[in-house]
Amino acid sequence: MSPTTPFEAAPLSPAFNWRALFGWRRVRTVIIICTLLTLLLNLTYASFSFRLPMRVFGTGLVVLLAFGLTEQWPRRLPEWLARWALQVVAVGLVVPVTVFLFYKLGTDAGAPDFWKEEKRLFGFMLMSLSGMLVAPWTALTALLRQREAKVEKQANDFELERSELARQALDARMRLLTAQAQPHFLFNTLANVQALVEAGSPRAPQLLQSLTDYLRAAVPRLDGSANTLGQELELVRAYLELMQMRMPDRLAFALHIGAGVHLLRCPPMTLLTLVENAVQHGIDPSEEGGRIDVHAERQEGGRCRLRVVDTGLGLQATGGGLGTGLAALRERLLWAYGGSASLELREVAPHGVEVTIEFSEPKP
């Protein structure tokens, strides 16, 4: 049953829905109202009569039928006639007609017509007026509630659609950021190889082979929307070993891996971005080189903390800010975890940088 405003017609069903005529909620409403009317009208009777509830409930069912029929029939109405108005008028008109028939057919054989008996005529008038007063208002209330339910359903549907569009936009944004990070990493790595070849290092072929092995293992993982932290740590170890071969006298590193972190999921290249940033901006530009310590530990509440501490040049290498790589990583974390993830950057005495990331594992 669809409510309508005074200016629009109800949408037409492709076929007549007979089951909708006597839906349980409608029948329940009719039963409640007819029970109350029966109790009220019974006060005018000297003694209880089964005719009264039969007439009231019978009239209620006819009103319910009129409400449902005019809701679906006729299929098309003139533009000046709203369906809601037709329903209200119909339930108002069927009341006196139905009550008249009940009184007429209920007259015993040989008895005078009910309108010739003052008491029975009074009963007819009382029941008709009561029904004509209650039925239209009940119909209007039902139409109003149906309209409110329809508006609420449309609002819920709109909110679901908006949420789905927001999720799709988030996925697209994450894919875009990941796609931007992949060439950034690959170009930096290839630039390192080029520097080794140009320097004429006798270790260049060995380094190139190590790089090939590293990329063969790393590149397929870059396509995933999320890696496990174990895979990320494996990439970090391979990357640091590669960089250590390039700078054997200037780079030392260690991985401090806590229990239960290998299966945690994280966006691809999260930890690798921190380590790469430490090499590129902290250790490589420094004449003395330095050390990189990678910490991965699981905390209470299912949160994970990743720390990369280097003893390189410090924040002066990035101008005191995050730099492009860390700024992009912060944005990726924001899109992946919302406000539950954090990225902090601080200076380490006497020189160096500590970057800390904390996040909760996303729900599958």
Do 161 and 281 fall into the same domain?
no
Please name the amino acid found at residue 297. Answer: E
Q: Within a domain: residue 249?
A: yes
pLDDT bucket at 224, cuts 50 / 70 / 90: low
Domain boundary pick from 169, 198, 227: 169
Share of the chain above pLDDT 70, in %: 81
Domain boundary pick from 169, 194, 227: 169
pLDDT bucket at 9, cuts 50 / 70 / 90: very low
Q: What is the DSSP letter of 363?
A: P
Domain boundary pick from 142, 169, 196: 169
Do 32 and 125 fall into the same domain?
yes
Measure the CA–CA gap between 362 and 350, rounded to whole angstroms: 37
Over residues 27-76, the pLDDT tens digits come to 999 999 999 999 988 888 777 778 899 999 999 999 999 999 999 888 88
The count of domains in the chain is 2
Over residues 242-274, the pLDDT tens digits come to 788 778 888 999 999 988 888 888 877 788 888
Q: Within a domain: residue 333?
A: yes
Do 197 and 165 fall into the same domain?
no
Do 242 and 332 fall into the same domain?
yes
Q: Within a domain: residue 306?
A: yes
Do 251 and 317 fall into the same domain?
yes
Do 70 and 161 fall into the same domain?
yes
Do 206 and 352 fall into the same domain?
yes
pLDDT bucket at 3, cuts 50 / 70 / 90: very low
C-alpha separations of 18 from 22, 32, 57, 270 in Å: 8, 22, 20, 60
Do 156 and 283 fall into the same domain?
no
Do 256 and 191 fall into the same domain?
yes
Q: Within a domain: residue 7?
A: no
Q: Within a domain: residue 112?
A: yes
**Residues ≥6 apart with Cβ < 8 Å to 121:** 114, 115
Q: Within a domain: residue 211?
A: yes
Question: What is the reported pTM?
Answer: 0.49
pLDDT of 239 > 70? The answer is yes
For range 303-332, the mean pLDDT: 78
Q: Within a domain: residue 175?
A: no
pLDDT of 177 > 60? The answer is no
Range of the domain at 247: 183-360
pLDDT for the residue 1? 41
pLDDT for the residue 192? 67
φ, ψ at 201 (rounded to 5°)? -65, 135
Do 140 and 198 fall into the same domain?
no
Q: Which two tokens stand for residue 198?
A: 């140009």
C-alpha separations of 2 from 26, 92, 294 in Å: 13, 19, 64
Q: Within a domain: residue 280?
A: yes
Please name the amino acid found at residue 309. Answer: V
The sheet carrying 290-298 orders its strands as 251-257, 290-298, 303-310, 353-360, 342-347
Q: Bigger pLDDT: 16 or 222?
A: 16
Do 91 and 148 fall into the same domain?
yes
pLDDT for the residue 186? 67
Do 71 and 215 fall into the same domain?
no
Identify the CA nearest to 308 among candidates 227, 226, 253.
Answer: 253
CATH number at residue 332: 3.30.565.10
pLDDT for the residue 64? 92
pLDDT bucket at 241, cuts 50 / 70 / 90: confident
